[in-house]
Chains A and B, each alone.
Chain A
Amino acid sequence: MKPLNFRLFILFAFIALPSVVYGLKREKLSVQDSILYVSPFQDDNERCFKCHGQEKYEYTNESLGKQVKALLCSDRIVNRSEFYSANHKSFSCTDCHSEAYTKFPHPGELRMEMQYNCLDCHGGDEAFAIFSFEEIDAEYQQSVHFRLENEGFTCWKCHNPHSYKISRRNTTNLKETIQYDNNICLNCHSDFSRLQLMTESKEINLMEKHDWLPNQTSHFRSIRCIECHTKTNDSILISHFIVPKEDAIRGCNECHSKNSILMTSLYKFESKENRKDGFLNGIILNESYVIGANRNKYLNIISLSIFSIVILMIIIHILFRILKK
């Protein structure tokens, strides 16, 4: 038995080694990513960050002539490092907010400040054509959330103006992207205090609603909410058409099959990039093993051949047994 054990060990080592090296390589990449960006408006923004950058803020009460310290509610806090790694990191606060905010107390009429929407800046801009903003907007208008616009729903509710950054397109770690994208939805859907701002419905338990899905935690780490809740569209990377709950995907074999929908949603980016090389299976293999979807042509052929040879040998043996009786 000894030599056999040893050979098995070597075999495992050969399988395991490349994957460890691969894992280490990735770790390095994500470290490089987080090098801090220096904004041209760093000093300007400190005018706001000195209060909005953390919980505690101070101001001078002019009628009393003294320093007052107070706490900012968490919704009013903007995290510096998140802001400076977001898509709009090169902005000054006052690019989007009125210059009048430099005054404190903030003037009352600013409460009614109009906000830009994404299309105001990105609509029709060639530089952002790869994102297809117009098409995303059209999809959003069909989605279940659009009817909540009167309650204050906007693109900004999913794309936090101070922290949103593209994830899937630049992903180095798919699990992190999945978590990032799911947190966008969970921000409301697992926080009733936010949800109740827009709906009269009672609180629901999301985990219970998805009870039919086995290995829930493992699934939610490997797929995004939008995999099941949107209708995919070939021309944009992230479908924004969130369908009514009745139309959400429930069938296991939508994902766990050869023509897995994941190829047109979660893995779309890679599957497009790699289509020419025919590496479709290879990319999934690096991230997740989706039972039923990961089929390797060569392994299939090999296993089928071995099986056929065995059956053939048995048939020949049977023939000999009959003939030589």
Chain B
Amino acid sequence: MYLYPLWVRLWHVLNAVLVIILIITGISMQYTGKHGYILLVGFASAVKWHNIAAVILTFNYIVFVTANVVTGNGRHYRIEKKNFFSDLGKQLLYYSRGMFKGKKHPFPVSLDRKFNPLQKLTYVLTMYVALPLLIISGLGLMFPEVTINKVFGVSGLILTDILHITLGFFISIFLVIHIYTCTLGSKPTSLFRSIITGYHEPDEE
């Protein structure tokens, strides 16, 4: 089943690389030690690379949103109210019990349903809530003179910073879970193969 068109795969590789750079440099900045660095990247170069990666990521994000609207890939990200919680429960139950008892996928992958309800929710929260806020707060920090100070008085930059770091933390958590759930395909490696080749291997053996 051809599930991931070329642009999704290109976007995704670039996105993954950039996010990893951003996480490493971000953590380096937050936790530099005074004597020698705990992490690999020194403060000055961490700042530089964080900025560079962030700018590219912003453009890449714009590509993602635009392409989702234009190509219709966006329909996979639409959440329906109907049975929202019960569907979510079914999927959770499958991950925590069903799959160990050899039960079938409650929401098998098809061209009309690329994501199961849990995937859909986390992707929407990440791509349409966390990432845009992360980008906006990051731009606020990059151009402090233009924005926030005027609205909040003295503490504007600090709020922005806390928001930025908190969101960065959640994206990191997302990434860990995301990579793990991507081992839940028919074989642990098959989903990784599909996001590179575009072809989805059937779920049930």
Contacts and interface: CB of A to CB of B under 8 A. Distances in A.
Interface string B116-145: 000000000000010000000000000011
Interface string B42-69: 1110011000000000000000000000
Given A214-B47, A256-B32, A303-B169, 20 more contacts: A1-B79, A15-B159, A19-B156, A20-B152, A23-B152, A23-B154, A24-B153, A214-B48, A251-B43, A252-B44, A253-B34, A253-B43, A258-B34, A289-B161, A294-B161, A295-B30, A306-B169, A314-B176, A314-B180, A317-B180
B74 interface: no
Interface stretch (A100-108, A268-276, A280-288): A280-288
Contacts of A22: 153-155
Interface string A302-325: 010011001100100100110010
Contacts of A310: 173, 176-177
B43 A252 contact: yes
A253 B33 contact: yes
Contact of B152 (A19, A254, A288, A294): A19
B43 A256 contact: yes
A198 interface: no
A292 B47 CA distance: 11
Contacts of A1: 79
Contacts of B154: 19, 22-23, 26, 175, 286-287
Contacts of A294: 161
Contacts of A258: 33-34
A1 B129 CA distance: 10
Given A256-B29, A314-B176, A19 B155 contact: yes
Contacts of A182: none
B43 A292 contact: yes
12 contacts: A19-B153, A19-B155, A23-B152, A23-B154, A214-B44, A217-B145, A252-B42, A253-B34, A288-B157, A310-B177, A311-B176, A321-B100
Q: How large is the interface on A (under 10, 10 to 19, 20 to 34, 35 or more residues)?
A: 35 or more
Contacts, number: 98
A109 to B, nearest CB: 52
B85 interface: no
B14 interface: no
A288 B34 contact: no
Nearest to B125: A4
Main secondary structure on chain B at its contact with chain A? helix
B36 to A, nearest CB: 9
A259 interface: yes
Interface string A2-22: 001000100000011001101
A20 B158 CA distance: 13
Contacts of A314: 176-177, 180
Contacts of A288: 157-158
B107 interface: no
B31 interface: yes
B34 A16 contact: no
Contacts of A317: 95, 180
Contacts of B33: 253, 257-258
A175 B144 CA distance: 14
Given A23-B152, A253-B43, A292 B31 contact: yes
Contact of B34 (A19, A24, A214, A254): A254
Contacts of A303: 169
A289 B29 contact: no
B71 to A, nearest CB: 22
A311 B177 CA distance: 9
Nearest to A2: B81
